[in-house]
Homo-oligomer: A and B are copies of this chain.
């Protein structure tokens, strides 16, 4: 796939380098290289960095696909196949941009800097290092970045995305006996780790989603009237939520509150328990050592470090109050910072004009609840604005069966990317 992209771009006159990432850790398998490229080198033009990934999620017909997942099918106005929307389609979109300009005889408006990786679905191995190493070399002079690798909020209205929540993931381990015990014999004689853990977890968040860890909500930036206004016109309905979750178990009754809960407020989620009985049926064991997993989605201005202090101090206090003789250990398994851009930056203004020109509507300004870590790395290392400009719709089924990209999204997407580059070439930087 890297070679295919290289050949396509080289044929169009781009300078392409395949950056080798070595072997996968502990194996003899070559990692797919990062495609680095330049198209245009006019010192009078702006430099726009575009990112995408050419690797995809695994897929098998047996998973339930209606078609062969690795054969692209066009049907009922949809391009169906693995990677159609995530993220081979958008990667092809950038290549089509160049082709379209050449065929139409229109001068390309910017110097394009290309970064297409092949390890995104597996944690972007090596990409952060490459960005840090190349920030003053290959990436030198970049004026703005555009990432085309997320989705519209719904299915009918184009969006631009200016924020992503971070995530701190914890394991809280309670241990006592040296081995699992029979509850008939020892039940009542010893402190049970799982009972202790349950009590600790019940003190982290209420059933209504209220975070009970002191200090966390204090770090959240207050809602301003201007920010609140951004939510007013977003095309999202509670029915979208009901459809997506297959239930009406919403915590909030309005679209606005629901989207704020997803985008601008932190949340605590429980994922499960490691070490306890988890099979069907009835087993009368007292588990000796259990790890409860929970994560906190973070937003401005929560820092993982301060959050960790709050979490650790609070859980230790709760633990002391329990008065158990078991042992408790708190472990931060991973953390990732939130990202928040200014939706009024010239990079966004260019994308707004492009969207309006192609789709005839103003894009909704959205944020994402989940994480796309490379976004933050680009912004922090290159110190330039990053824009998320999605091509596909919210129901495309990235990572799921029957992944698709609507043909109109593909065609208008290519037009939007092209128009974006034209506006980005001239938009006042002030």
Contacts and interface: CB of A to CB of B under 8 A. Distances in A.
A248 to B, nearest CB: 6
Given A271-B287, A293-B277, A333-B282, A249 B325 contact: yes
Contacts of A285: 271-272
A167 to B, nearest CB: 7
Contacts of A27: none
Nearest to A241: B189
Interface in A357-388: 368-371
A165 B165 CA distance: 51
B245 A181 contact: yes
Interface string A164-206: 0101010100001111011111111111101110110110011
B199 A202 contact: yes
Contacts of A165: 184
A184 B262 CA distance: 8
B189 A262 contact: yes
Contact of A195 (B169, B190, B205, B322): B205
Contacts of A189: 241, 245, 250-252, 258, 261-262
A344 B286 CA distance: 34
A276 B273 CA distance: 7
A112 to B, nearest CB: 30
A293 B179 CA distance: 19
A274 B269 contact: no
A74 to B, nearest CB: 28
A201 B290 CA distance: 15
Contacts of A277: 271-272, 274, 293
A105 interface: no
A270 B198 contact: yes
B262 A188 contact: yes
A307 to B, nearest CB: 15
A326 interface: yes
A396 B272 CA distance: 36
A186 B267 CA distance: 10
A419 to B, nearest CB: 29
A279 B270 contact: no
Contacts of A246: 177-179
Contact of A261 (B182, B188, B252): B188
Contacts of A187: 262, 267-269, 295, 297, 369
Which 6 interchain pairs have the tightest Cβ spacing?
Answer: A184-B370, A178-B246, A272-B276, A272-B277, A188-B267, A202-B202
Interface of A: 165, 167, 169, 171, 176-179, 181-192, 194-196, 198-199, 201-202, 205-209, 241, 244-252, 258, 261-262, 265-274, 276-287, 293, 295, 297, 322-326, 333-334, 368-371
17 contacts: A187-B262, A187-B295, A187-B297, A188-B266, A188-B267, A189-B252, A195-B269, A195-B270, A196-B207, A199-B202, A199-B206, A199-B207, A207-B324, A271-B285, A272-B278, A273-B276, A282-B293
